[in-house]
Chains A and B, each alone.
Chain A
Amino acid sequence: MSEREQIKKSTPQRREAEIEQSPSNTEQGEELKAELTDLLDEIDEVLESNAEDFVKSYIQKGGQ
């Protein structure tokens, strides 16, 4: 779509900035992975322990 091309052309600065950052991408990737592992550890702790029962008992009346 032509409109889409125009939008992208109007933001060349941002695109270049992204490319310049690329050498650190793998490092960032590792960091993100570590963050997700920590987050999943936390989720495992906080998640309702009896999942089957919890899901079964989560019943709502229909609303709007």
Chain B
Amino acid sequence: MIEIKGLSKTFQTADGKVEALSDINLTIEDGDIYGIIGMSGAGKSTLVRCINMLERPTEGTVIIDGTDMTKLSAKQLREKRRSITMIFQQFNLLMQRNCLKNICFPMELEGVKKSEAKKRAKELLEIVGLPDKALSYPAQLSGGQQQRIAIARALATNPKVLLCDEATSALDPNTTHSILELIRDINKKLGITVVVITHQMSVVEDICRSVAILDQGKVVEQGRVSDIFANPQSHAAKKLVFPSGGESVILKKEGERRMRIVFNGSSTASTPLIAQMAAEHGIYANILGASTRSINEQAFGNMLISIKDENSNFDKAMAYLQAQDGIIVEEVTDNGQ
């Protein structure tokens, strides 16, 4: 278990102090795939580096399986880092070593016998699906392949935690998907806790079970991914869940109000809600946008509608929809706020 308590990080720059993180409190359960999402500059990378002390927190503690990371000596920390490995956006392979030797690298640091390291590296190449690339150099591989080698390298020391720092941000959508699949597989088979840092909502949707949303150095929302998708509370979360969700695209007309309906697929499959509302109550809604996404194999839909606000139609519609099961309705004011 990873417990982050009251963590803050302040950087001293030429222009004065910059608070990158303030009072972060998170608990990451063993075996979870935990997403930390935020826009660029939200402090995600700093946060993940505070977990393995590549960045020293200014305040607060990080406790991993009962060990307070902030209190370890340099030597103890180096030892501990072998069980908390990391993959990166730019893969960060050693460019002058072939793939096999790259995977052997962390074992070499540990002093594992060469023949043993080689054997383990070959097994890992199998796991990541690149058994024929042992003697290739990183420059000869595609981005996705390089990341697979980096994953193999990260697994070499049998870690308990895998930190992924924007691990798929430099990859195309198809490759991203296959890398995420690999990470999910590893999580399932080896029971490794995975922390995923990303700015892409699709990555969180794809593999994370829990998520924390980071905005300007603060955690503004955290919980199960399905809950947050169904009902995002904070401005930052809404922005991520409903990126440019219609409201900013189509200008609002005079005398019109908008609402967002979020529902899980099963609850509305049997009832044509909008049509029923028109037929039974004579309220005609204009659909501005709608989409369905699958989160952890559960379907979530969201719809943005606008209703002319005459004869308190809007409030009636709100009341009608709120009475339905498994639906969350809220008014949308300016730009998704």
A and B co-occur in one complex: no
- A residues with a Cβ closer than 8 A to B are none
